Amino acid sequence: MIIGQGCYRFYNSGRESQAFGHSTSMATKSAHSITIVTGVLIVYIITTHLPISFGIVFEFFLLTGAGLFWMVIVILKDTSNPSNKTFDEHFYEDVD
């Protein structure tokens, strides 16, 4: 099978929205928080190399820390992929 045909079948099967995180609002919320925090982090890194006042760079530093905290909370509260495994049976989620 040609790779393009497989991608075309997958795209037209209706599962593309689930694969790319568009099936629930929580997945979209997680994606938005990751995108926003990554953008702020990139702006912070760029501002550290420019001749900008220390106050602005420090504000981006604080904003990055708060954004990271917010992103972790949003990802941990994400309930779009609930697990059927219990802690007693599976200590670590990725190991079967």
Q: What is the pLDDT of residues 29-52, one digit of tens each?
A: 888 999 999 999 999 999 999 999
Q: Name 19's Cβ contacts closer than 8 Å, sequence gap at least 6.
A: 10
The reply to whether the predicted model has a pTM over 0.75 is no
Upper half-sphere CA count for residue 76 (Cβ side, 13 Å):
6
Residue 96 in this model has a pLDDT that exceeds 60? no
Give 5 or 65, the one with higher predicted confidence. 65
- Residues in the chain, how many? 96
pLDDT at 78: 82
What is the C-alpha separation between 74 and 84, in angstroms, rounded? 21
Encoded tokens for 68:
């990271």
> Which structure tokens are listed for 50?
């420019």
pLDDT at 25: 55
The reported pLDDT for the residue numbered 46 is 94
